[in-house]
Amino acid sequence: MVMWLRIGGALLVTLVVISALEYIGVSSLIGGRTAHEVQHDTQSRARELFWLLIFAVVMATSVLAAVRRWTGHLRRAVAPPPPLKRRDVA
């Protein structure tokens, strides 16, 4: 459960940072464009695909980390238990 909360938290932080950067217009400072041009570019198809790609990379990384973590759990669950050691009491 904690793992999924971490993934959700990472996703939420990423979306908040992206939204904050778009809101304050950091791209207009970098590109030297007016605020009107930035708003127009935000609605363009290429810009949407760019942010979708960033979202997909972050999500894929999170899912990959979750799968790697659960692989060990599944191996232990499926593997037969180790044989019990018998002690010589005599």
Q: What is the pLDDT of residue 26?
A: 67
Q: What is the pLDDT of residue 30?
A: 56
Q: What is the pLDDT of residue 33?
A: 67
Q: What is the pLDDT of residue 7?
A: 85
Q: Mean pLDDT of successive 10-residue segments in the chain (90 residues)?
A: 83 85 67 68 72 88 88 82 71
The Cα 55–Cα 47 span in angstroms is 12
Q: What is the pLDDT of residue 72?
A: 81
- Residues ≥6 apart with Cβ < 8 Å to 3: 66, 69
Q: What is the pLDDT of residue 11?
A: 86
| SS3 of 29-85 | HHHCCCHHHHHHHHCCHHHHHHHHHHHHHHHHHHHHHHHHHHHHHHHHHHCCCCCCC
